[in-house]
Amino acid sequence: RHRRRLPAPARPGIRRGMSYLEESLAPGETIVARFELHWTAKGRLILGIILIPLVVGIFITIYEWLRLRAIELGVTTHRVVRKTGIVSRETDEIRLSAIETVDLSQSMWGRLLGFGDVRVTGRGESNMILSRVADPVGVKRAIESAYSTNIERAGLAARQSQ
């Protein structure tokens, strides 16, 4: 009649509710910065809230809320990461050592409201777009700072030890 709930067995080193960015860190790798989406990226969520009286609006709202919660953007000491997906998971990652350029794109509205796109281009044909991020200049600066701190200094130390 009365059953006790038992907690799920914990895996060592993995906290429950840990984000993908934290979960996927390599040994010795740390998160340098996390990025947030600008409020304008939540347009469909806002539309859903406006349409809540309609049944369709409720589904749009729930879907958009889940979709936006599932997006993770960040830079670690080794890579730039973009993760999306509600049930399935899709990740784009570019190693800091493979970055060639970090470009910023802001429309007039983006400049006025403080959002924009940051394009990280790697060697070959790899590139990643962090769309509608809040404070895109800060995002670009964080990626470039992580690059210079962790890649350029490592290269300089390697050259000096030779």
15-37, pLDDT tens digit by residue? Answer: 557 888 988 999 999 999 999 88
CA 162 to chain CA mean position, Å? 37
pLDDT band, residue 46 (cuts 50/70/90):
confident
At 105, the amino acid letter reads S
Write down the H helix ranges in the chain.
20-23, 43-50, 55-70, 108-113, 136-147, 153-160
What distance in Å separates the CA atoms of residue 21 and residue 32, rounded to the nearest whole number?
A: 11
pTM over 0.85: no
